Structure 1
Amino acid sequence: MLERTLSIIKPDAVKAKNAGKIIEMLESNGFSIIGMKKIHLTKEQAKKFYIVHKDRPFYDSLTDFMSEGPIIVMVLEKDNAIEDYRKLMGATNPEDAEEGTIRKLFGTNIERNAVHGSDSKESASYEIGFFFNELELV
């Protein structure tokens, strides 16, 4: 079933100039990029996006990190996009990620792990709507 998911290339991967390699991996794994933009989140925007983590101890450092430099947000589409992208990303901690995954190749640690992806249809819907309005994804 055709699905959409949100992908974020995080500030660490953008700064290291790995965005092109990550995008190439996405396309070679069958994902269609139906929306993409490069933006620089403010701390307040990062806090709003990651509001689900507001009570977690890493919330402040995560939102500091996500607002420290430009990110690339994309809407990806393919059959089973959410699950397939999560497999391609690899484990949250790059040390635990399988060989050949994005986080194993480009992540540094559990926070600076190169990419973000939606973890469910509900979060994909919210996250896509946060960065893209429906007119941008026709």
Structure 2
Amino acid sequence: MAVEETLVLVKPDGVARNLTGAILARIEAKGYSLVDIRLVQPDRSVLAAHYAEHEGKPFYEPLVEFMLSGPIVAIRVAGDRVIEGFRSLAGTTDPTTAAPGTIRGDFGRDWGLKVQQNLVHGSDSPESAARELALWFK
């Protein structure tokens, strides 16, 4: 198996709720390596590049505003099949339907807001991982 790298973001809601340590522990418990970790306050240009495929969609602006609302923990994670593995560990996008045992299933809530505050982001493909890692780890 080839070792992959992926980008994991602990979003502002995860940082504000003091869940970063619990999320990192779950990543490490799966046997993945934490290669680099940064606490960042991204500007709009980073988020515009990160979410470029969503520009023009109804949730785009609320999503960017949410991601600007507080610090984010950016993590470069490495491991066998880590892209697929972390997305499984994260759970489905909607925390109300995410399975127990996943990050979103155990810690996520639906706060009734315009945009899902779902704790984490994980790259969805090797191509996305390469693009996103270059953006967040300049």
Segments ≥4 residues shifted beyond 3 Å = none
Q: TM-score, normalised by structure 1?
A: 0.92
Q: Deviations over 1:36-89 (max 9, x none)?
A: 100012233322221111021100000000010000000100000100001000
Counterpart Cα distance in 1 of 2:81 and 2:133: 16
> Residue 88 in 1 paired to residue 93 in 2?
no
The aligned counterpart of 2:3 is: 2
Unaligned runs of 5+ in 2: none
Counterpart Cα distance in 2 of 1:35 and 1:56: 32
Counterpart Cα distance in 2 of 1:35 and 1:78: 13
The aligned counterpart of 2:137 is: 132
The aligned counterpart of 2:107 is: 106
Unaligned runs of 5+ in 1: 134-138
**Structure 2 counterpart SS, 1:8:** strand
Counterpart Cα distance in 2 of 1:33 and 1:55: 34
The aligned counterpart of 1:136 is: none
Counterpart Cα distance in 2 of 1:38 and 1:2: 25
The aligned counterpart of 2:58 is: 57
- CA RMSD, 1 decimal: 1.1
In terms of mean alpha carbon deviation, does 35-44 or 84-93 score higher?
35-44
Residue 108 of structure 1: how far off its partner (Å)? 2.0
Counterpart Cα distance in 1 of 2:103 and 2:109: 11
How many residues are paired up? Answer: 133
Counterpart Cα distance in 2 of 1:124 and 1:57: 25
**Structure 2 counterpart SS, 1:96:** coil
The aligned counterpart of 1:33 is: 34
The counterpart of 1:120, out of the listed 122, 125, 136, is 125
Q: TM-score, normalised by structure 2?
A: 0.92
Identity of aligned residues (%): 38
